[in-house]
Amino acid sequence: MTHSMHRRTLLAGLCALLPARRVLAAQSLRIGTIGAGHVGSTLAGLWLRAGHPVMLSANDIASARAAAEALGQNAQAGTPQDAARFGDVVLLAVPYGALPSLGASLRDLLAGKIVIDACNPYPWRDGEIASTAREQGAGITTQSFFPGAHIVRAFNSEDMSTIRAEAHRPPPLLGIPYAGDDPAAMRTVGTLIAEAGFDPVAVGPLAAARLFQPGSDGFEADLTAADLRTRLHLPRT
């Protein structure tokens, strides 16, 4: 069997096993990460594996370069402004307390773009803004800093050590909740969750993201998609 025939057979098998909405997209998306630490580099590595070029960024450009070099081909480094310009999709992977200042500097660059918010508010670390986010919902608060962006909360509910260990595990896959207000952005992020090796669980609008922020039943739940839907009282699909 030739390589091309083998690949077609493999893809056909995937299509037979997965619901249509979870078949991996062939389209390559440029992904920028604001933050090149544990969260940014872990997710960047999974999306690179899926065929998406990634630019990691940090205020300390040297750390972004080191992370990109560790990830290899198709990973590059830049400033947060560079990554915001580069990405079709941009990942926020910084301490929550940094979001107000990032909003002030990047809001125009991110207007109209899909922005994945993987940041969690912790009052002990992030101060008053974290308390506000915990009270009104982190998704709604993040949206206020980037009013023109299509914010989707995702990948904030699991520790990155769990993400590393459980990506592409044998079925049933680990369920990853996500929430946002824009249907097109939700479809794109759902595909990126699937491509990273997880089962996407659409929770609802951005306000519903409080169901899987710290302190909620959906935070660090470590459940399959079916069990996560039960935990969050979502309809089964």
Task: Give tens-digit pLDDT for 149-162.
Answer: 999 999 999 999 99
pTM of the model: 0.89
Q: What pLDDT was estimated at residue 236?
A: 84
With cut-offs at 50, 70 and 90, classify the pLDDT of residue 135.
Answer: very high
Q: What pLDDT was estimated at residue 26?
A: 53
Which DSSP string do the residues of 173-202 spell out, in sequence order?
PBEEEEEES-HHHHHHHHHHHHHTTSEEEE
Query: How large is the average pLDDT for residues 184-198?
Result: 98
Query: How large is the average pLDDT for residues 64-74?
Result: 96
Distance CA(1)–CA(186), nearest Å, equals 38
Distance CA(138)–CA(131), nearest Å, equals 10
Task: Give tens-digit pLDDT for 76-134.
Answer: 999 999 999 999 999 999 999 999 999 999 999 999 999 999 999 999 999 999 999 99
With cut-offs at 50, 70 and 90, classify the pLDDT of residue 11.
Answer: very low
Distance CA(3)–CA(165), nearest Å, equals 29
Q: Three-state SS for 140?
A: helix
Checking if the pLDDT of 203 tops 80, the result is yes
**Bridge partners (DSSP) listed for residue 200:** 176
Checking if the pLDDT of 3 tops 50, the result is no
Q: What pLDDT was estimated at residue 27?
A: 84
Q: Which two three-digit tokens encode residue 211? A: 């169901």
Checking if the pLDDT of 25 tops 80, the result is no
